Amino acid sequence: MIKITLKDGSIMEYNKGITVMEVAESISKGLAKNALAAEIDGEVKDLSFKLEKDCSLNLLKFEEEGGRLAYRHTTSHVLAQAVKRLFPNARLAIGPAIENGFYYDFDVDRTFTPEDLEKIENEMKNIIKENHKLERFTLPRDEAIKFMKENNEPYKEELIRDLPEGAEISFYKQGEFVDLCAGPHIPETGKIKAFKLTQVAGAYWRGDEKNKMLQRIYGTSFARQSDLDEYIRRLEEAKKRDHRKLGRELDLFTIMEEGPGFPFFLPKGMVLRNILEDYWRQEHKKAGYQEIKTPIILNEDLWHRSGHWDHYKENMYFTKIDEGNYAIKPMNCPGGMLVYKRRLHSYRDLPQRMAELGLVHRHELSGALHGLMRVRCFTQDDAHTFMLPSQIREEIIKVIDLIDSFYSVFGFKYHVELSTRPENSMGTDEQWEMATNALKEALEQKKMEYKINEGDGAFYGPKIDFHLEDCIGRTWQCGTIQLDFQMPERFDLTYVGDDGEKHRPVMIHRVVFGSIERFIAILTEHYAGAFPVWLAPVQVKILPLVEKHHEYVLALQNQLEQSGIRVETDLRNEKIGYKIREAQLEKVPYMLVIGDKEVENGSVAVRSRKEGDLGVMGINEFLKRIQEEVDKKAN
């Protein structure tokens, strides 16, 4: 007999070799019907998995991440089966579940069209209706390679050859379709209730631009049609909010063919950017940071010392100066190290908080570029804090509080994730354990819930990531706090302790916005281009009815500008209705309509983007209203 500990803590005994599904059926028929996969001692497995020893067992429904991923992974196999039925010569690459759905990559001698996607969807419905069981089996390495070769699947063959010796090679069969796959999967295709193929994109095999470009079909699936409908509605809303579209329409920024991945900020975009940077500077000054600026090009030796040459070289740009090798910085940290190292420090000087709005360059594949979200040059709002080991927890908490205050201003909710040691890391086990525990303790002291991402830390230290939620429920990773024992070691950073001896400081890397460019993209989509008054590039548009009101309008413009308000006038010989519509399309927060009465009384007729017609106000009354909104940073 074996003992199974369930999620509620209860312990049940079963015969060795019982399947997870049989355990589920013994507990409740309803539970067995809704279960999709199972977490066994923390690892997600199929419901057909046989239990051979004592373990903990958590049955997963669609609401749990493991169940959702298995459900969507199986939908990707249904997609691949449908493609193979319709296009038998298509060769399969990979097809994982991802955060909001799934994809599958295909090598096929045609370009998939919207009509093809419709045919594929219909065939997927047939496969679901046929309700094929997903049956797992394994093969020895040589047989697995032979099997893939016989089926003309060179990409699968390559994946098998790259597996380490002795690795278990598993396949899943559903009807006539067989795929190389580690799983897990749901029991049968008929459990898939609602799905939709969303787009086709190009993707290099294994993400390497030297390899062949494949066609990637994206899709999503849900346990209920109503949830799928809501997701599609949100996708449509996201299209309307696309920052690339709004950036063009509102004349904020552009990316030109002369510089793919290198954004141009236009005058109105620069107003928005400067407001964000000014706010950043004010808040960092209050929080005790000193601002620095470091060069964007530094010599090869520095990048060897920092570890970037070994761990990040593929993402860097290089140049030669005076016969020496130099790199354009992909990160600001090494420059910050040199600033700290320029002179001797006492323990009394610490913590030292140095902040930088630093321009960095990173090589991104052309297929990965996406407006301001994924670019090749961007400005990180970096800061580096150098401190005593005894100051770690207090400093991390101060950074958490600073990040929280920023996000609150923009009305963002967020959740946090703690990422632990990756495979290609630097440093000792003891250093990593100390660093990870320090981050955990700070989060727990703040009573913050957090998720652990095993192995997703930076190569030099663990990190806390802040994921913002926008107004249509999407999440964006922006802020991060990284604790680092490695860089101070590699750069031989020291301070003189109260014992008169030299000691090694500990360092925090952190960003709040993440990158100014990406944060502007997120804000643009969050607000759908209708920025709150304090951020709006143009806060007020003055609209005269006829030419004789122009003198009054220009004087009014001057008065508002003297009070710090950003104003434009529309002096064109157009009807007022047309001018109002134009201002609304430009998403200006306030329109001031000027006619004979307003000129005679020294007043303004106010229209609000949010509230519509507010009636006639005195100029000072309107000024007080708008300045209060700006001062409060009202959303």
Can 362 be counted among the known catalytic residues? Answer: yes
Task: Name the CA dihedral angle for 504, 510, 516, 520, rounded to a multiple of 10 degrees.
Answer: 180
Q: Can you tell me which residue has the tokens 């070994």?
A: 310
AA identity, residue 565: I
Query: CB pairs under 8 A, 24+ apart, for 266-271?
Result: 267/537, 268/537, 268/538, 269/520, 269/537, 271/537, 271/566
Cis status of the peptide bond prior to 422, with omega within 30 of 0: no
Which of 45, 73, 185, 362 is labelled catalytic?
362
3-class SS letters over 232-246: HHHHHHHHHHCHHHH
Q: If DSSP codes are grouped into helix, strand and coil, which group holds residue 458?
A: strand
Minimal CA–CA distance to 193: which of 163, 224, 220?
224
State the CB neighbour count (10 A cutoff) for residue 614.
Answer: 14
- Tell me which DSSP letter residue 390 carries: G
Cis status of the peptide bond prior to 187, with omega within 30 of 0: no
Which of 191, 243, 376, 463 is labelled catalytic?
463
Residue 307 structure tokens: 């570890």
| Cβ 538 vs Cβ 557: under 8 Å | no
CA distance 144 to 170: 9
Angle between helices 429-445 and 392-409 (to 10 degrees): 50
Which of 181, 333, 377, 478 is labelled catalytic?
333
| Cβ 369 vs Cβ 387: under 8 Å | no
CA distance 233 to 473: 12
Angle between helices 154-162 and 141-150 (to 10 degrees): 170
| End-to-end CA, the chain | 61
Query: CB pairs under 8 A, 24+ apart, for 499-504?
Result: 503/347
Which of 384, 510, 579, 587 is labelled catalytic?
384
AA identity, residue 591: M
Q: 253 exposed, middle or buried (CB, 10 Å; 0-12, 13-18, 19+)?
A: buried
Residue 137 structure tokens: 């089996």
Can 509 be counted among the known catalytic residues? Answer: yes
Which of 81, 215, 352, 380 is labelled catalytic?
380
Which of 382, 465, 470, 570 is labelled catalytic?
382
* DSSP codes of every residue in 197-222: EEEEEEEEGGG-TTS-EEEEEEEEEE
Query: 44 — alpha (psi -120 to 50), left (phi > 0) or beta?
Result: beta
Strand locations in 331-397 (E): 352-361, 377-387
CA distance 443 to 512: 17
**How many angstroms from the chain centroid is the CA of residue 544?**
44
Can 370 be counted among the known catalytic residues? Answer: no
Can 382 be counted among the known catalytic residues? Answer: yes
State the CB neighbour count (10 A cutoff) for residue 106.
Answer: 23
Which of 68, 329, 361, 509 is labelled catalytic?
509
Handedness of CA 250, 256, 259, 261 (dihedral sign): positive
Round the CA-based radius of gyration of the chain to a whole number and report it: 29
Instruction: Just list the catalytic residues.
Output: 333, 362, 380, 382, 384, 463, 509
